[in-house]
Amino acid sequence: MPPIEIKERNIPFVPIMTAIFFGSVLANLGMSSISVAFPMLMNQFHTDLTTMQWTMTGYLLATGVVAPVTGYLGEKISTKYLYITALIGYTLISGLSAFAWNVESLITFRIVQGIFGGMILPSTMTILYQVIPRAKQAFALSMWTLSTMLSPAFGPLLAGWLIGKFEWKWLFLMDIPFGIAAIVVAWRLIPYYKLNTPKTFDLLGLVTVILSSGSILIAFSEAHAWGWSSWRTLSLLAFGFLMLGCFIRGELMIQEPLLNLKVFVNMKYTVSLAVLAIITLNLYSGAYLIPVFLQNVQGSSALEVGLILLPATLAMAGVMPLVGKLYMRIAPQWLIVSGILLIAVGTFAIGRLDVNVSQWYITLWLTIRYIGLSLTIMPLTNVGMEAIPRELSGHASSVNNWIRQVFGSFSIALFTSLIASRLTIHNQALGLDGAAEAQRKLLKAEAFTMSSNDVYVVATMIVLVGLPLVWMLYRGKPWKRTLANHKLQHVQNFTQKEQLK
């Protein structure tokens, strides 16, 4: 079937957003739901936590490795067909995972599932910026971000109920109806189109980006266990950055690169991506600390932890559509600055915990922190992506997801190492070694709480680094003039009958 031409004014907004929404929910469901089943899976496959964590680590590594390739694949076979292929592969592997016969087979299935999952989110973002009219992109992105929030909010609760009511296989079988619905909706509602068709394949770029991404992500994932100064960590990082240098050099020299790095020439895109990377560091700084604190220090159950964390995620999801509406009415830099300040205040407040702190205190400041995330992620992403020409939006989307994946892995590794070192210091300061057995549990809880507070203080300082970068996005460009230019450009697009070719 030949690609069709689509005029901006004829784009069916709701059907396309529905197709994007289903896929985004499915991809995030795979990342957010498996952790609740760790105890049951460890018992089922007679393995330890370190091995079982590779069902999550392997998935994340695969998504990071495949992200840079999605731009090229979308141009080659069309983003619609890439998206549908990824959905089909993801759904099939979910079904196979339910019949894993040992932990090694489960890890293998999860890595393959991560490859398909890593194609879904960049594809949905690419479709958003290539098909949705520019005037509706800010609101569309807010809805896309909302879809990525629903799975972390409800995925663990749904998974916990299913495996508690039935068995562990339903952790993966529950993906199948979502996957089938996403495939049908995407096939029927997303138009088939192409902007570019690459004539050559950059094999060297593929090899170097896989080697660089894989080496760096594995080093970051295992650094807390191996040690940052261990020969394995240092050699993987050295090799990874060497391959990354070869990849960048190669991509800048060839006519049709696997990943077009010329998107970094656009300063607005580059700066927005830098601020997003900083926020990602803050976001993942204590990803597991609050659940561990609530369970191990305060004795909450897994279900109670999910209910305590739920209001913050729901608040983030509820604010997201509002941010999409405000984006064109309020200067984006004010939304971003307000969001960063709320993230900083919320993170700092969470860094003042004690062992007997009220759970309502945690819920309140997590909610404020997540509202701050709502105010920053969508505006930052849209400011950068709308500055990129349509024909390069697939590559820009791939870079965006790639960078955030790498920085997410780095953040987890960095702060896992930090809390381990702070635990050692606080254990010594509290005299844990010489304490009576009756006091050791209380002292361990106190040391963990103090160490978590240290992590959140560092995370607060990190996110504040993003404030001066925000003003670089609009330096010398007053918002009213920028908005006027944006509207003028939109009118010119219609005048010139801009269309997808």
State which H helix or E strand residue 7 sits in: strand 6-7
Dihedral in degrees, nearest 10, Cα atoms 210, 216, 218, 222: 180
Which residue type sits at 206? Answer: L
Task: Name the more confident of 6 and 25.
Answer: 25
Alpha-carbon distance of 78 to 219, in angstroms, equals: 34
Model confidence band, residue 10 (pLDDT cutoffs 50, 70, 90): low
Q: Can you give the residue ranges of every domain in the chain?
A: 1-199, 202-255, 263-476
* E-state strands within 210-367: none
What tokens does 403 get?
């960078």
pLDDT above 70 covers what percent of the chain? 87
pLDDT at 481: 42
Using 50, 70 and 90 to split pLDDT, how confident is the model at 90? very high
3-state helix, strand, coil in the chain (%, to 5): 80, 0, 20
Lowest mean pLDDT among 21-30, 62-71, 99-108, 155-164: 155-164
pLDDT at 442 over 80: yes
Residue 24 has pLDDT above 80, yes or no: yes
**Helices assigned H by DSSP within 33-169:** 38-45, 49-52, 54-66, 70-77, 79-97, 103-131, 137-165
- Asked if 1-199 and 263-476 have one fold, the answer is yes
CA 171 and chain centroid, separation:
21
pLDDT value for 36? 66
Select the more confidently predicted residue: 382 or 433: 382
The CATH homologous superfamily of the domain defined by 1-199: MFS general substrate transporter like domains (1.20.1250.20)
Q: For residues 96 and 91, what is the distance between their CA atoms, to the nearest angstrom? A: 9
pLDDT at 415: 80
Query: How confident is the model over 330-367, as pLDDT tens digits?
Result: 888 888 999 999 999 999 999 888 888 888 999 999 99
- Output the six-digit token pair for 155: 């995925």
pLDDT value at 478 more than 50: no
For residue 469, the tally of other CB atoms under 10 A from its CB is 16
Amino acid 85: pLDDT: 93
- Kind and range of the H or E run holding 422: helix 393-429
Buried b or exposed e, range 439-448, using 16+ CB within 10 angstroms: eeeebbbbbb
Which carries the bigger pLDDT value, residue 481 or residue 140?
A: 140
Q: Return all residues near 297 (Cβ < 8 A) that are at least 6 apart.
A: 355, 445, 448, 449
**Does 480 have pLDDT greater than 60?**
no
Both tokens of 397, joined, read 């989307």
At residue 483, the pLDDT reads 42
Q: Which of 155, 162, 163, 164 is nearest to 26 (CA)?
A: 155
- The pLDDT of residue 153 is 67
Assess whether pLDDT exceeds 50 at residue 500: no
Q: What are phi and psi of 7, to 5 degrees?
A: -85, 145
Over the Cα atoms of the chain, what is R_g? 23
Average pLDDT, the chain: 80
Kind and range of the H or E element at 6? strand 6-7
| Long-range own/partner contacts, residues 488-493 (CB < 8 A, 24 or more apart) | 489/134, 490/134, 490/135, 493/8, 493/134
Tokens for 366, please give them.
């997590």
Q: SS3 of 355, please? A: coil
Predicted pLDDT of residue 310: 81
In this prediction, residues 24-47 reach a mean pLDDT of 76
Pick the range with the lowest mean pLDDT from 171-185, 312-326, 426-440.
Answer: 426-440
Reading the block at residue 168, the tokens are 């562990």
Task: Decide which of 106 and 480 is more confident.
Answer: 106
Instruction: Please name the fold of domain 263-476.
Output: Growth Hormone; Chain: A; (1.20.1250)
Query: What's the confidence (pLDDT) of residue 346?
Result: 93
What are the pLDDT digits (tens) for 179-209? 898 899 889 888 887 777 776 777 888 888 8
Q: Which of 485, 499, 320 shows the shortest CA–CA distance to 387? A: 485
Give 302's pLDDT tier (boundaries 50, 70, 90). Answer: low
For 239, residues 6+ apart whose C-beta sits below 8 A from its C-beta are 211, 215
* Six-digit token string for 449: 């709480």
pLDDT band at 372 (very low <50, low <70, confident <90, very high): very high
Say what the pLDDT of residue 83 is.
Answer: 92
What is the average pLDDT across 65-90?
87
Q: Coil, helix or strand for 499?
A: strand
Beta bridge partners of 6: 500
